[in-house]
């Protein structure tokens, strides 16, 4: 998390430190748990996947001579009889940010070995994620009822549907997987697996609260991707 | 209590205030980016505001929620340089998209 301390050995900071870390014969990522490093590598590859989707969307939208559907109208929701632009999407954004905040606090309390706070905050995060997936399911069914299909839609350029279902569907899958793992980790925290150092299912590694941080990285990444989808797909 | 302290000192934690601040900022920034649509800003102003709030939010999440601000440069640079490559890819595809649109208009409507 912060600078690691190795006895009798001073780690340099900044770019000199980077050069020394990279050139050293032991581990390159000093003081970083291997699971955390692997999660970062996975997230980097996932960044490429989502970038490919968003770049394909950008190119598709930029190169069609047919007018693109106005997202502000397509995603409007009636509140008390008045159509409010992007209402559901705004709510989804706030729900996801809230769950990201509770996750960050769960990581903090986990490192402080506050088992109950950590467990309840992970539970809150999971419920937030579940709410998000529910709202997305509602949004999908609403659009499908209005006749949006991957190959056509009543609002404008035909590509709109395929990009919409592909990008938000892939993001929703990530959220769903995250929710499943959040519930599992919530159980593990409450059961005290990380306090006792109980071994996991697939690994001999002893349980430690660093696993909560690794799960947190995944969850924040899901939020991060939503920031980009919100900006490029819904607002642009 | 003494034992708990010993166990946790391998990874120091940050004060709760910083998380709450970032959390609040993310809410405010999301609200502002929603306002961009609410007031129907158009053209260059709309795009630059969207990008500004987007990068600010992404930066705050990565730096503080994902702890990158406190990580060593070896990890930070391994993550950030490939993302710079993505930005180059975006720039290439913007040019490509414009060319495709041009040739479509040229051949579909002008007739070549």
Q: Please report which helix (H) or strand (E) contains residue B44, including its range.
A: helix B43-60
Taking only residues 65 to 124 of chain A, the set having a beta carbon closer than 8 angstroms to any beta carbon of chain B reads 65, 72, 85-86, 90, 93-94, 97, 100-101, 103-105, 108, 111-113
Please check whether residue B13 is in contact with residue A212, taking contact to mean a CB–CB distance below 8 angstroms: no
Summarize the confidence of residues A76-94 as an average pLDDT.
85
Q: List residues bridging with A82 in a β-sheet.
A: A79
Tell me which of 2.60.120.380, 3.40.50.2300, 3.30.360.10, 1.20.120.80 is the CATH number of domain A34-235.
1.20.120.80
B30-86 pLDDT tens trace = 999 999 988 888 889 999 999 999 999 999 999 999 999 988 898 999 999 999 999
Please indicate, yes or no, whether residues B4 and B33 belong to a single structural domain of this protein: yes
Of B33, B65, B74, the CB nearest to A100: B65
* Residue in A closest to B100 by C-alpha: A63
Contact A1 B12 (CB under 8 A): yes
A26 vs B98, more confident: B98
Q: How many domains does chain B have?
A: 2
Summarize the confidence of residues A199-225 as an average pLDDT.
89
**For every residue of A27-94, which 3-state class applies, written as one string?**
CCCCCCCHHHHHHHHHHHHHHHHHHHHHHHHHHHHHHCCCCCCCHHHHCCEEECCEEECCHHHHHHHH
Contact A1 B13 (CB under 8 A): yes
A104-159 pLDDT tens trace = 999 999 999 999 999 999 999 999 999 999 999 999 999 999 999 999 899 989 99
Please check whether residue A103 is in contact with residue A87, taking contact to mean a CB–CB distance below 8 angstroms: no
B36-49 pLDDT tens trace = 988 888 889 999 99
Q: b/e map of B69-98 (b: 16 or more CB within 10 Å)? A: eebbbbbbebbeeeeeebeeeeeebeeebe
Give the domain extent around B6. Answer: 1-70
State the residue for tokens 């993302």.
B83
The structure's pTM equals: 0.90
Please indicate, yes or no, whether residues B32 and B65 belong to a single structural domain of this protein: yes
Please indicate, yes or no, whether residues B82 and B42 belong to a single structural domain of this protein: no
Summarize the confidence of residues A93-100 as an average pLDDT.
95
Of B38, B54, B70, the one marking the end of a domain is B70
Please indicate, yes or no, whether residues B26 and B66 belong to a single structural domain of this protein: yes
State the residue for tokens 């003494």.
B2
For residue B8, pLDDT beyond 60: no
Contact A30 B86 (CB under 8 A): no
Please indicate, yes or no, whether residues B2 and B57 belong to a single structural domain of this protein: yes
- Using CA atoms, how far apart are residues A102 and A23, in angstroms rounded to an integer? 38
Where in chain A are the domains? 1-31, 34-235
Query: Which residues of chain B lie closer than 8 angstroms to A93, CB-CB?
Result: 30, 34
- Using CA atoms, how far apart are residues A208 and A128, in angstroms rounded to an integer? 24
C-alpha A214: how far from chain center: 12
What pLDDT sits at residue B28?
95
Please indicate, yes or no, whether residues B19 and B66 belong to a single structural domain of this protein: yes
For residue A3, pLDDT beyond 80: no
Please check whether residue B66 is in contact with residue A23, taking contact to mean a CB–CB distance below 8 angstroms: no
What pLDDT sits at residue A217?
96
Please indicate, yes or no, whether residues B39 and B12 belong to a single structural domain of this protein: yes
Query: Which residues of chain A lie closer than 8 angstroms to B26, CB-CB?
Result: 97, 100-101
């Amino acid at each position: 998390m912060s600078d690691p301390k190795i006895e009798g050995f001073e780690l340099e900071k900044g770019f000199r430190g980077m050069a020394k870390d990279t050139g050293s014969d032991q581990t390159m990522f000093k003081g970083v748990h291997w699971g955390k490093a692997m999660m970062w590598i996975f997230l980097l590859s996932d960044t490429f996947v989502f970038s490919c989707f968003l770049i394909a969307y950008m190119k598709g939208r930029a190169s069609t001579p047919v007018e693109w559907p106005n997202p502000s109208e397509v995603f409007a929701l009636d509140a008390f009889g008045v159509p409010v632009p992007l209402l559901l999407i705004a709510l989804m954004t706030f729900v996801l940010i809230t769950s990201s905040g509770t996750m960050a606090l769960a990581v903090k309390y986990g490192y402080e070995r506050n088992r109950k706070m950590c467990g309840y905050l992970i539970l809150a995060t999971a419920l937030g994620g579940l709410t998000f997936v529910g709202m997305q399911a509602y949004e999908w069914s609403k659009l499908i009822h209005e006749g949006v299909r991957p190959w056509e839609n009543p609002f404008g350029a035909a590509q709109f549907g395929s990009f919409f279902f592909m990008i938000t569907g892939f993001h929703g899958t990530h959220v769903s997987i995250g929710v499943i793992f959040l519930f599992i980790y919530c159980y593990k925290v409450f059961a005290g697996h990380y306090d006792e150092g109980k071994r996991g299912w697939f690994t001999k590694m002893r349980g430690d609260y660093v696993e909560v941080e690794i799960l947190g990285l995944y969850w924040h990444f899901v939020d991060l991707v939503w920031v980009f989808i919100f900006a490029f797909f819904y607002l642009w | 209590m003494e034992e708990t302290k010993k166990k946790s000192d391998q990874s120091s934690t940050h004060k709760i205030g910083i998380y709450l601040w970032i959390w609040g900022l993310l809410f405010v920034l999301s609200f502002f980016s929603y306002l961009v649509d609410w007031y129907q800003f158009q053209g260059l102003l709309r795009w630059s505001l969207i990008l500004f709030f987007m990068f600010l939010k992404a930066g705050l999440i990565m730096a503080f929620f994902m702890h990158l601000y406190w990580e060593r440069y070896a990890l930070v640079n391994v993550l950030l340089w490939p993302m710079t490559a993505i930005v180059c890819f975006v720039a290439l595809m913007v040019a490509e998209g414009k060319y495709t649109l041009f040739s479509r208009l040229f051949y579909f409507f002008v007739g070549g």
